[in-house]
Structure 1
Amino acid sequence: MKKWLFVALFSFGLVAFTPAGEWSSGELIPFRQGEKWGYTDRNRRLILPLRYDEAGPFVEELAWVRVAGLYGYIDGSGYAVTPTHFTKASNFTRGRATVELNGETFAIDVAGKRLPISETPAPEVEYLSLGDIVRKAGKLGFRFTVGSTTVPAIYDEILEDYRGLLFVRQGSQWGAINRKGKVVLPVIYESIKVTAANDYSYPIVQQAGLLGYLDADGHLLVKPKYRAAEPFVGGVARVETPDGRVGYIDSTGKEYFE
């Protein structure tokens, strides 16, 4: 049976709903207005209504939602793939998500079926190094494996982000260098963090206690302005403003909350 959502128009500025069945889940972004959450397209046109207490990103065509303190999963049409009865729920990764029910933690598949404990996710991809650390007079430099580019030994710490960038530290401050040896991000930040959970994309940077994001070239994508910032997943990232507003941004830095 084809599923449709029929809802009334809101009078406070949002445009009419589009039938959710016409939309790919990859085009939907969690949107917050007041205390309720729904999903919009990238033009902030409401597609799934504001009826959740919290909503997560669509990953592998499913998203977690929270209602009355409990979590469940929906597809891109808003159809409930699982009951809303979990006390904890994660995003899907390689066809599985971790949930908690009645104090027990276990994994489910994309149909909401519990997976046997013996099933384990596929191993992480092993990334190759960009080159070798060079040490001189107590400082660190870098020699790239490909080409003749070197980074002078003037840094206290050098880390790879596995996407063609080096993160370098002088004293307590961090910056970024590309594979050509050029400083693309000044060494003025308190921290730079990446995670394998999103393939090391959109590093999170901190300055003056606030958080922002870098693009793939190591340049500022979103200047540090958030009190909290989570890694990008499914093309969006969850952030919190200094005044406590929580919502999502997309990979252009556009905010999806009011």
Structure 2
Amino acid sequence: MNYKKLIWIFCLTLSTSVFAQKPDMNLVPYRQGDLWGYASADRNIVIKPEYTEAGLFHEGFAAVKKADKYGFINMEGKVVIPFRYFKVTPFRYGFFAAKGNAKTADGDLHQEKSVLFAGASLTKDGYEICIDTKGQRMPKCPAIPENSAPDINKSSTVEVKTNYSTIHKTGLFDKIIDDYKLVPGADATYYIATRGNNYGVFNNTFDIILPFEYTMIKKKNIGGMTYLLAEKNGLHGVFFGNGSPYITVENKKLQAVTAANSVSYFIVGQEGKIGVKDMTHKYVVETKYADVAYDSTGTGFILTADDGTKGFYFLSGKTVEPKYTEVKALPVGDYIKVKTQAGKWGYVNSKGLDFFED
């Protein structure tokens, strides 16, 4: 396993960290007025609201705030690390080099041991330290795995440059931009090329697959098959790799995403009528929103109404209609964090139940 040194980013809120593992939602932060406590999934208060801020539980600990200092409580509501920090990050597992060799369950040798820790700052300037579950300062911060925060929609950093100088057909194209096969191992090769200012596609026998009339064509691998994202006169559509239409070139917005459930979707539509299609052409989100954006946590789509209010579509198929000024998805599938019209934050589940009282 590869590791990189942990770099704490204290400008993030205590409830979100790029290095945080998935939170435990058995207890949900619950706000009464301006004070925070915790409630069960059925909204029964378990830990009395008495904190000015309350973070999500990670590995049995949650960061809470009183006055201007943070501490940590356990799931029984007991303060286990006193209120003495100006900034904190959630508890998570990291790694230290272990003495000698140890074997994993599959028999591989390793030289690391896991340790639970959190980031903290005793000063307002944000100078960071790492603490253990007793609040003791650690001599150094642990390392974390390379894949702590994977992004399944991020492009590969490996770029293979192909020499197309041997491919000639006078008058057919000016420059080849990219190539693909319909599926891995297929005999035929397809080429995305330019002629003048336009893009088109031809195959290895020089048959025109898509005419040279598009302002942009890009390939997209979805489920092991190649699709073509095309733009013409400011409108967007999708073709199969063989040139057959998949989504008509008539959309002002078109974005292909692969969500955390490994299902691919297309955000499509005209201005003011944006929705989401799955790969079977079924609209999982109706084309009735001013905008739809895929959330970077991978748990769903943020919906924006004509009046600017926000809602959320969960990958489970449930929708919270827009009525909030801001929406933040969580790295778990059933909750979102919202800002109300009164300017206060709270949590809402996929059934639309509010975990706050104003």
Q: How does the TM-score come out when normalised to structure 1?
A: 0.73
Q: Which moved more, 1:128-137 or 1:42-51?
A: 128-137
Deviations 1:212-255 (A, max 9, x none): 110216x6611000112221245432212112343211232210
Q: Determine the structure 1 residue equivalent to 2:279.
A: 179
Q: How many residues align?
A: 229
Partner AA of 1:133 in structure 2: L
The aligned residue for residue 122 of structure 1 is 146
Residue 181 of structure 1: CA displacement? 2.0
Once residues 107 and 189 of structure 1 are traced to their aligned partners in structure 2, the CA distance between those partners, rounded to angstroms, is 45
Listed as ranges, the gaps of 5+ residues in structure 2 are: 1-23, 95-116, 154-220
Residues 134 and 153, structure 1, Cα contact 8 Å, conserved in 2: no
1:142 maps to 238
- The 5 A counterparts of 1:24-39 are 26-39=25-38
Per-residue deviation at 1:49?
1.6
- Cα pair distance change 1:107/1:182, threshold 3 Å: farther
Given residue 71 of structure 2, which amino acid in structure 1 is its aligned partner?
A: G
Distance 1:43 1:187 in 2: 32
User: Is the alpha carbon distance of 1:45 and 1:89 closer, same or farther for their aligned partners in structure 2, counting shifts above 3 Å?
Assistant: same
Question: Any conservation in 1 of the 2:61–2:73 contact (CA below 8 Å)?
Answer: yes
Cα distance 1:160–1:87, how it changes in 2: closer, same or farther (>3 A)? farther
Q: Which amino acid aligns with 1:210?
A: T
Letter in 1 for 2:247: V
Q: Does 2:122 correspond to 1:101?
A: yes
Q: Which residue of 2 aligns with 1:16?
A: none
SS at match of 2:82: coil
Indicate the structure (1 or 2) with the bigger Cα radius of gyration: 2
Instruction: Identify if the C-alpha distance between structure 1 residues 36 and 126 changes in structure 2 by more than 3 Å, giving closer, same or farther.
Output: closer
Instruction: Return the alpha-carbon distance in structure 1 between the equivalents of residues 32 and 231 of structure 2.
Output: 55
Q: 2:289 aligns with which of 181, 189, 194?
A: 189
Change (3 A) 1:85 1:143: farther
Q: Which amino acid aligns with 1:193?
A: A
Return 5+ residue gaps in structure 1 as ranges: 1-24
Q: Which residue pairs with 2:352 in the alignment?
A: 253
User: How far apart, in 1, do the equivalents of 2:67 and 2:280 lie?
Assistant: 52
Does residue 335 of structure 2 align to residue 236 of structure 1? Answer: yes
Which protein has the bigger strand share? Answer: 2
Q: Within 2, Cα distance between the matches of 1:132 and 1:252?
A: 35
- Given that 2:71 and 2:85 are in contact with CA atoms closer than 8 Å, whether structure 1 keeps it comes out as yes
In structure 1, how many angstroms separate the alpha carbons of the residues matched to 2:128 and 2:294? 26
Deviation at 1:30, TM superposition (A): 1.1
TM-score, normalization by structure 2: 0.55
Query: Identity of counterpart residues, as a percentage?
Result: 24
Given that 2:229 and 2:237 are in contact with CA atoms closer than 8 Å, whether structure 1 keeps it comes out as yes
Q: Which residue of 2 aligns with 1:226?
A: 324
Change (3 A) 1:49 1:209: same
Instruction: Give yes or no for contact 1:144–1:179 (8 Å, CA) kept in 2.
Output: no
Alpha-carbon distance change, 230 to 136 in structure 1, aligned in 2, over 3 angstroms: closer
**What is the RMSD computed on CA atoms of the aligned residues?**
3.1
Q: Contact 1:62–1:110 (CA<8 Å) still a contact in 2? A: no
Alignment partners' CA distance in 1, 2:310 and 2:237: 27
Deviation track 1:188-218 (CA, whole Å, cap 9, x = no partner) reads 323333344x3x103221111111110216x
Aligned match of 2:61? 62
For 2:266 and 2:93, locate their aligned partners in 1 and report how far apart those are by CA, in whole Å: 28
Is this contact kept in 1: 2:37–2:45, CA < 8 A?
Answer: yes
CA distances 1:67-116 after superposition (whole Å, capped 9, x unpaired): 11222222212233433222233445666655443123536466355584
Distance 1:141 1:28, change over 3 A: same
Mapping for residues 141-220 of structure 1, pairs under 5 Å: 141-143=237-239, 150-163=246-259, 164=263, 165-171=265-271, 174-196=274-296, 198=297, 200-207=298-305, 208-216=307-315
Per-residue CA shift, 1:21-73, capped at 9, x if unaligned?
xxxx5421111112221111122222112221121222343322111122222
In structure 2, relative to structure 1, the CA distance for the partners of 1:167 and 1:77 (3 Å cut) is same
Alpha-carbon distance in structure 2 between the residues aligned to 1:194 and 1:36: 31
